[in-house]
Chains A and B, each alone.
Chain A
């Protein structure tokens, strides 16, 4: 039998939850779970929850009226769970384990209309985002990528057949709606899963056409890098 949540424990619940939200938003931790524009709403919520807890302490000075509205559902205990999970497991940003199961990012293909992509910017190698590569590879057999050295960043993930990918997640609201962008890599030995890498590579012509299968690249250079602050795009 679960004990009823007393009023004092409710106050503690509010304070702990508020403090955890502030702790997340004060550093970069919140970027592992939600989009960057959530920072200020999270700070506002954290402050409000702490104000609610403080207002109650102040009120309780004059009254020991704990039976007042202590009858809250026992499910309220569960509100401790996210705070504890945050501190004890310290959930990382989504990584290779989820990459194999997540939805592929959609490449908006408009079949009827003629698309003329602008040529790649100057530079050798030229730095591109993964969704840019997916998009360009999906049209005209990747004509705009032909004969160029591309600089890509992402983390390492693998599929069941052992192919490894330069990978990133894109999120819209939070990590629950993450879609995965993967580019199959060959030419070098795969680093361990979840290692962030910067690679210089060339697109294998014809791969990734139509946006169904992931495009492939042949890697010339690879260097391990630190994971960026915001690991989602």
Chain B
């Protein structure tokens, strides 16, 4: 499982000087971490301000809450990347992408996960040759229409089954519509950081671990960035700004979409927050619950990391517009 054939070019590609086989960087980082931890007793009282404490609590909370879901996602992505045979994958996903899109939308029902799990899964599906539109539909549907999310919505809105139904339909319509639009007008998705195929005789376990590690490191940094922004919005933007626009129909829908995007809640929890926004109409709450799982600041950050900034610039607005229209349509029809 070692790779002696590649050893010759290692010194030219590895940044930093080599110390005993490892680049210098890791020692520097290790020393900095050690110094910070040792000086903790001295630092903690100096970083004591209520606003900073609130920000850091929410920041750590979002990261800690998301990491298990991200790990679940990269494990599933690893299974798809290394264990699912081409044949089995072809049997699961219809060959015609036009048909594959709604199938992927409904397949989302079966994967109870948070939205951070679905980015590596979608990326892994694309690497294995699944049409981008189909993988993107799955990316949008999986966090929004699974049973855990629907049950939590039912709990947050007791005796309001029509809200659960409207949420399910609006999210499904969003995922399928974005899939079909992408198929018709865009088609290709750049896959950055394409994994090198493991051609030097690694075992299946080694390949699996390699895939998990690769996907985790790629996604986690962007997850952290999104969590930092969301925590800052939660802590520093006065809630009155959000509440003051609740009265106007258009402002309410628009502000709910923006609110869902910036606060980046877990899709299993957003129904409870939506229910607590009592000043807003049911349609505006529905917009919040449909936009949130499909697109938010941490997802946008992760997607621009996974698929590139140019992709995110087109995909993020498209998803938000389709989600808002779909939620408003369902709200007008059902609520």
Contacts and interface: CB of A to CB of B under 8 A. Distances in A.
A90 B52 CA distance: 11
Contacts of A12: 26, 29-30, 33
Interface string A38-59: 1001101100110110011001
B5 to A, nearest CB: 10
B56 A38 contact: no
A85 B60 contact: yes
Chain B contact patch, size range: 35 or more
A227 B13 CA distance: 53
A175 B57 contact: yes
Contact of A94 (B29, B54, B228): B54
Which of A3, A30, A89, A102 is packed against the most chain B CB atoms within 10 Å? A89
Contacts of A38: 64-65, 68
Contacts of B21: 60, 64
A77 B276 contact: no
Nearest to B306: A73
A205 to B, nearest CB: 24
Contacts of B305: 73, 75
A34 B65 contact: yes
A157 to B, nearest CB: 11
A89 B47 contact: yes
A91 B40 contact: no
Contacts, number: 257
Interface stretch (A105-113, A137-145, A146-154, A216-224): A105-113
A91 B71 contact: no
Contacts of B268: 172-173
B206 interface: yes
A72 B222 CA distance: 12
Interface string B182-222: 00000000000101100000000010010011101110111
B16 to A, nearest CB: 6
Contacts of A66: 10, 13-14, 22-23
A48 B212 CA distance: 10
A78 B221 contact: yes
Given A52-B212, A87-B40, A67 B9 contact: yes
B224 A79 contact: yes
A138 B277 CA distance: 18
A81 B227 CA distance: 11
Contact residues of B: prevailing secondary structure: helix
Given A14-B216, A63-B7, A21 B64 contact: yes
Contact residues of A: prevailing secondary structure: helix
A96 B209 CA distance: 44
B25 to A, nearest CB: 5
B88 interface: no
Chain A contact patch, size range: 35 or more
Contacts of B151: none
A104 interface: yes
A34 B61 contact: yes
Given A79-B221, A81-B228, A91 B53 contact: yes
A45 B67 contact: yes
Contact of A75 (B29, B225, B270): B225
A17 B21 CA distance: 24
Interface stretch (B117-125, B170-178, B231-239): B231-239
A225 interface: no
Contacts of B209: 51-52, 55
B64 A64 contact: no
Contacts of A65: 3, 6-7, 10
Which of B4, B7, B25, B65 is packed against the most chain A CB atoms within 10 Å? B65
B273 A177 contact: yes
B37 interface: yes
B193 A82 contact: no
Nearest to A33: B61
A138 to B, nearest CB: 12
A8 interface: yes
B310 to A, nearest CB: 15
A198 interface: no
Contact of B230 (A63, A73, A176): A176
Please provide the 10 A-B residue pairs with the shortest distance between their CB atoms, ordered closest to farther.
A67-B13, A62-B2, A75-B221, A175-B61, A97-B50, A174-B65, A173-B269, A66-B14, A33-B61, A41-B68
7 contacts: A16-B33, A17-B220, A84-B33, A102-B239, A176-B65, A177-B272, A179-B272
